[in-house]
Structure 1
Amino acid sequence: MKRILLLSLLLAVLSVKAQININIGSTNVGTAPVSSFFSYSYVQQIYLKQEINANAAGNITGLTFYVDPSATISDSSNWTVYLGHTNKTAFASGTDWIASPQLTQVFAGTVTKNNGKVEVVFTTPFAYNNIDNLVVAAKENAPSIDINNFDEAFRVYPYIPNSTLYYKGDNAVVDPASPPGGIRADYKSSITISGLTVNSTPGCPFVLYPSNNAQFISLSPNISWQPVIGATSYKISLGTTPGGTEVINQQVVNATNFNLSPSIVLNRDTNYYLKVTAVSANGESSGCANNIFKTIPPIPANDACSGALQATTFPYTYVQSDGMSSTNNAGFVTACPNDGMNDGLWFRFTGDGGQFTIKASPATITFDPKIGIYSGTCNNLVCVGTQDNGGGGSSETKTITTTAGTEYYINVGSYEDSVDKPEDVFTITITKL
């Protein structure tokens, strides 16, 4: 009898410990796992494997969500809950829903708030593989809303951009097989996952910047990562081979970022392998993968006026794919009175007395180009005209009437006349009219 009692107590203790708490102390509220402020909602959230940090695969037997103490959810309590596996780390757009065939319904019914919690117990456990990330989806089906001080009732915490995708409205219950376009959020539900046991050592940090496989990274980037629950410090290693440490070797950092500038300058056009681990009183995270990134290309051949690329046949088209590596050389181009600009990338052509149109088309919305056109020589530029009508991502077009035999220099640079800003990918087209 005593053995049976002891075994029962042991199983009870183990069942209590078999849970993982993720940021359950947060005081922020948001639209997750459902919306309490709209009649109907459908929400998907991605919890990364390293954030869950389970010690093994196992059966998830339930979820607990946390509610603002002053909030009510009586009119937002008809839920259907789904779980699934995904290799996504974030939602790419407002329609990037994880398809319903990838999800398993684990609960349908009425939930209640009890001591600031909503506990959802599954009828059938969900087998989590501890390989993929976990998607938690919930649909709220009641036609009424709850009026609360902060509109939404449930506790959330900030995480990587676009961790959550939600739709909320008052028209109809959402069909998870064909949900409407939603809104992405940079937060997730504070949550307890029952049935899994957390690792004794901290999980691997999720590197925010540079992201894995990122291109065109600056030579002194500010490395940053998501904080890890329980971590007291972090270690950074950086090298030019997988697992390499010749640039940074297990540098201890007490924050969630590390700026290489000014002590470390990376090489151009080089692949680097970055590893960040978390350290706690119980040890260091293990099995953390390298993030690979590539630095900006070499300085372009046409970075200076003296290296201007010459257009001889028209229409002339050139894609400047390495524009982000341009420098501002000796300073700003000030040949045009009260209308200076960054010293960007240079082109030239010889006039024939006719009209020519110069067009610069940026590839990204972050680059706001300006066109400067000059005659004379690189050491003595004479203003012909400039063009800067649009904003970031907008093309600029300038038409000039040329003089036969005169050499014209074109500068495509960032529009600022007193702040050095990087150029980016663009296409220049020179057309003879």
Structure 2
Amino acid sequence: MFNAQININIGSTTVGTAPVSSFFSYSYVQQIYPKQEVNANAAGNITGLIFYVDPSATIFDSSNWTVYLGHTSKTAFTSGTDWVPASQLTQVFAGTVTKNNNKVEVVFSTPFAYNNTDNLVVAAKENAPSIDINNFDEAFKVYSHLPSSTLYYKGDGMVVDPASPPGGIRADYKSAITISGLVPRSTAACPFVAFPTNNAQFVALSPNIKWFPVSGADSYKISIGTSSGSTNVINQQIVTGTNFIPSTALNADTNYYLKITAVSAGVESSGCAEVIFKTVPPVPVNDACSGALLASVFPYSYTQSDAISTTNNAGNIAVCPDAMNDGTWFKLVGDGSQYTIKVTMPAGSTFDPQVDVYSGTCTTLACVDSADNGGGGATETITISTISGTTYYANVGSYEETIDAPEDVFTIAITKL
């Protein structure tokens, strides 16, 4: 059938280590092509693959291939050893390949039955002991896609056994490829949204929405609403690139429903899933020193769940010897007692806070003490001796001295000793 082939980013101009390495003696590469990206009309027999070679490259010494296909539920490789097992792969080719018109065509002796339900694994190993010296090291065209879409090993020591491959390296690209034997859908594939991810929290009010390009698409349509299926914020706005920033800021602390479709020759992709995300909360009431929350009953405890929205006000604070971000603020009035101020983060947090305590007024702060003893997720503690009637300000912010880094969720506890 004339149209029984699916082309995926065959116009790519960059090169990488897929489907094999031409720059090392031996290699083994697995690549995952999600069902959504394959975009086949129905299940069918894959009869061959075409890979694309840089016009200046040679593959004379990188042409002894064994090729495998398989099904997988994986969308990415989670580590350098997360290979799809050989038992889940079917060998479809073994022999010598050649470059012809900047292509390498691999024709299967027996077709591979693709179920159009799972994702497709394309695996290949190169068995020749020599290498090709090319201008760009590697010879084959690749395109950027989902993180860890490819897992590869390349070396000069041995032919790889797919039943027990060594640890490899993950890559965020895949081979430009033609899949022969499958009929494409009549509509373009649905784009993969890179940002925001589904169910993302704390998304900026003017987010830079990004997606991966769809092979054959000439434009995209963006819709955003505040309920599933709605377009009350952005209604089918046409974009020719692969990113989009709303012209009007979104509302804080709001759930949004995003849908992106691809358009090819005037036909829009169908059945594309929504991405749900939630924007950052409003700026906290204790964002500035003047709005510091008063601790008057002890023990005092407050969980700052909206710290991500702090503004850093006039910039970093250099009152104490170890400068820090302007974070969120708390205060207490001294009575001659000692107080312990402890800041903790939820389990798994990577937020690295600093705690500075000052006396004086918000416009004339004087350093009392500072704590930045741990790394991300570590507890910070300060104990201060107070003077009766003096106001003390505690600033909890990111430890960076010269850049504005975001704060995150923390709990402050103030105990009178």
Structure 2 length as normaliser, TM-score?
A: 0.84
Q: Determine the structure 2 residue equivalent to 1:10.
A: none
Q: Determine the structure 2 residue equivalent to 1:19.
A: 5
Give the fraction of aligned pairs with identical amino acids, expressed as a percent: 69
How far residue 182 of structure 1 moved from its aligned partner, in angstroms, is: 2.1
- Per-residue deviation, residues 96-142 of structure 1 (Å, max 9, x unmatched): 33344433332233333333322222232222222333221222233
Q: Determine the structure 1 residue equivalent to 2:259.
A: 275
User: What is the total number of aligned residue pairs between the two structures?
Assistant: 413
Q: Determine the structure 1 residue equivalent to 2:181.
A: 195
What does residue range 10-409 of structure 1 map to in structure 2 within 5 Å? Answer: 14=1, 16-260=2-246, 263-300=247-284, 302-305=286-289, 306-308=291-293, 310=295, 320-328=304-312, 330-332=313-315, 334=317, 336=319, 341-348=324-331, 356=340, 369-378=353-362, 381-386=365-370, 393=376, 397=380, 399=382, 401-403=384-386, 405=388, 407-409=391-393
In 2, Cα distance between equivalents of 1:60 and 1:317: 63
From the superposition, tell whether residues 127 and 319 of structure 1 become closer, same or farther in structure 2 (CA, over 3 Å). farther
In 2, Cα distance between equivalents of 1:430 and 1:119: 70
- Per-residue deviation, residues 315-370 of structure 1 (Å, max 9, x unmatched): x8876443212233x534647178754321234465866585756669666x5644
Name the amino acid aligned to 1:196: L
How far residue 39 of structure 1 moved from its aligned partner, in angstroms, is: 2.4
SS in 2 for 1:324: helix
In 2, Cα distance between equivalents of 1:313 and 1:101: 63
Question: Contact conserved, 1:94 with 1:165, CA < 8 A, in 2?
Answer: yes
- 5+ residue gaps, structure 2, are none
Question: Contact conserved, 1:303 with 1:344, CA < 8 A, in 2?
Answer: yes
From the superposition, tell whether residues 196 and 325 of structure 1 become closer, same or farther in structure 2 (CA, over 3 Å). same
How far residue 281 of structure 1 moved from its aligned partner, in angstroms, is: 2.0
- 5+ residue gaps, structure 1, are 1-13
In 1, Cα distance between equivalents of 2:77 and 2:160: 19
In 2, Cα distance between equivalents of 1:17 and 1:379: 73
From the superposition, tell whether residues 145 and 277 of structure 1 become closer, same or farther in structure 2 (CA, over 3 Å). same
How far residue 175 of structure 1 moved from its aligned partner, in angstroms, is: 3.5
Structure 1 length as normaliser, TM-score?
A: 0.82
In 1, Cα distance between equivalents of 2:288 and 2:226: 30
SS in 2 for 1:237: strand
Question: Contact conserved, 2:356 with 2:370, CA < 8 A, in 1?
Answer: yes
In 2, Cα distance between equivalents of 1:345 and 1:176: 54
In 2, Cα distance between equivalents of 1:44 and 1:169: 15
How far residue 240 of structure 1 moved from its aligned partner, in angstroms, is: 1.9
How far residue 237 of structure 1 moved from its aligned partner, in angstroms, is: 1.0
In 1, Cα distance between equivalents of 2:288 and 2:75: 41
How far residue 274 of structure 1 moved from its aligned partner, in angstroms, is: 0.7
Question: Contact conserved, 2:76 with 2:150, CA < 8 A, in 1?
Answer: yes
